[in-house]
Amino acid sequence: MAHYCSLNGNIVAQEQASLGVMDLAVLRGYGIFDYFLFKYGRPLLEEQYLERFYNSAQKMGLEPPLSRQELSRHLRELIAANGEDKGAIRLVLTGGYTPDGYTPGDPNLIVLQHGYPNYPESYFTEGIGLISHPFQREWPEVKSINYLTGIKLLPEIRRAGALEVLYHYNGELREAVRSNVFLVTEKEELVTPDRDILFGITRDSIFKAAEGLLPVIARKVSMEEVYNAREVFVTGSNKSVMPVVHIDGRPIGDGKVGYWSKKLKDGLEAYREGYYGAP
Ligand SMILES: Cc1ncc(COP(=O)(O)O)c(C=O)c1O
């Protein structure tokens, strides 16, 4: 765990950082966040992540105490203070101290540094499972801190030997709790939903990594298509490309990690390395 975090622009030892009990994030779960990797001290695709973070804040009526430029500078200070070559950053903007238990106050900005994601290698070489659940996130394009449904379903996920929940609504695929979903059809097209989801930055990077390899189509996707896909994979900042080999206990394709899941994971990682540049 990193030693330092930051609260409203002040770098402090994480063990000593604290937030008051009247923050609306504590009382009503009101707040937003974002999460991204860094390497060689450089935040990955910083522009895109900060854009999403400030957009989420604006949509929730929250004004961060630091401007984008100040936050960008500040991130580098925190990364330098912790002295790690690579890791992950979590930005959290809360509803702030509320005067009456309901109305937002001045938001608190927390910046946490986490270790670089470290999933077991088998998740990538053997794939993962999902369970499906009918649900539509309330404000899909906002990265709110509300993960109530996914967290409530953790015992069921564990019982099914799955890693996450796949959300669908009126028979249409949406996303997974903390990742976007792609499928490879029998026609060798890469397909992903185009609405009512969080527009993942990794999803966007996959569009770029797939250029010239296979057609990518963002459109309405039925759950029928998901179960009958040749390959399914999920994408996220901390997951890269993770192949899905079963959903609700039903095998996807031949039940093994597919060609495109591997190929696009390599493509995504090459794209990311290209962004970081040389050490
Ligand atoms: C609901 C949801 N969808 C999709 C994603 C993937 O987004 P990204 O690739 O930007 O990490 C996340 C990531 O946390 C998420 O919470």
CATH number, position 89: 3.30.470.10
Question: Are 44 and 72 part of one and the same domain?
Answer: yes
Q: Which helix (H) or strand (E) holds 222?
A: none
Residue identifier of the C-alpha nearest atom 2 of ligand 1? 178
Question: What is the tens place of the pLDDT at every residue in 27-77?
Answer: 999 999 999 999 999 999 999 999 999 999 999 999 999 999 999 999 999
pLDDT tier at 147, thresholds 50, 70, 90: very high
Q: State in Å: Cα 55 to ligand 1 middle.
A: 15
What is residue 1's predicted lDDT score, i.e. its pLDDT? 66
Closest listed residue to residue 63, CA positions, set 106, 8, 112: 106
What is residue 149's predicted lDDT score, i.e. its pLDDT? 97
Question: What is the tens place of the pLDDT at every residue in 152-198?
Answer: 999 999 999 999 999 999 999 999 999 999 999 999 999 999 999 99
Closest listed residue to residue 244, CA positions, set 257, 260, 227: 257
Q: State in Å: Cα 158 to ligand 1 middle.
A: 21
Question: What is the tens place of the pLDDT at every residue in 67-83?
Answer: 999 999 999 999 999 99
Cβ of residue 179 lying under 6 Å from some atom of ligand 1 = yes
Which range of residues forms the domain containing residue 27? 4-114
Q: Which helix (H) or strand (E) holds 245?
A: strand 240-247
The answer to whether 252 touches 267, Cβ cutoff 8 Å, is no
Q: Decide the pairing of beta strands 42-43 and 250-251.
A: unpaired
Distances in whole angstroms, Cα of residue 173 to Cα of each of 196, 197, 215, 265, 278: 10, 10, 19, 22, 39
Whichever domain contains 133, its CATH number is 3.20.10.10
Cβ of residue 240 lying under 6 Å from some atom of ligand 1 = no
Question: Are 86 and 102 part of one and the same domain?
Answer: yes
Sheet holding 10-13, edge to edge: 10-13, 4-7, 109-114, 86-94, 31-39, 42-43
Cβ of residue 34 lying under 6 Å from some atom of ligand 1 = no
Cut 0.95: pTM above it: yes
Question: What is the tens place of the pLDDT at every residue in 73-126?
Answer: 999 999 999 999 999 999 999 999 999 999 999 999 999 999 999 999 999 999
Residue identifier of the C-alpha nearest atom 7 of ligand 1? 200
The single residue listed with the structure tokens 């998901």 is: 226
What is residue 2's predicted lDDT score, i.e. its pLDDT? 84
Give the C-alpha separation, 124 to 131, whole Å. 18
The single residue listed with the structure tokens 């991204």 is: 36
Tell me the best of 48, 142, 178 to mutate to test the pocket of ligand 1, counting ligand atoms within 8 Å of each CB and taking the most. 178
Domain boundary among 59, 85, 114: 114
- State the first-to-last Cα distance of the chain, in angstroms, to the nearest integer: 22
- Specify the ligand 1 atom closest to the Cα of 52: 10
Residue identifier of the C-alpha nearest atom 15 of ligand 1? 178
Number of domains the chain contains:
2
What is residue 273's predicted lDDT score, i.e. its pLDDT? 95
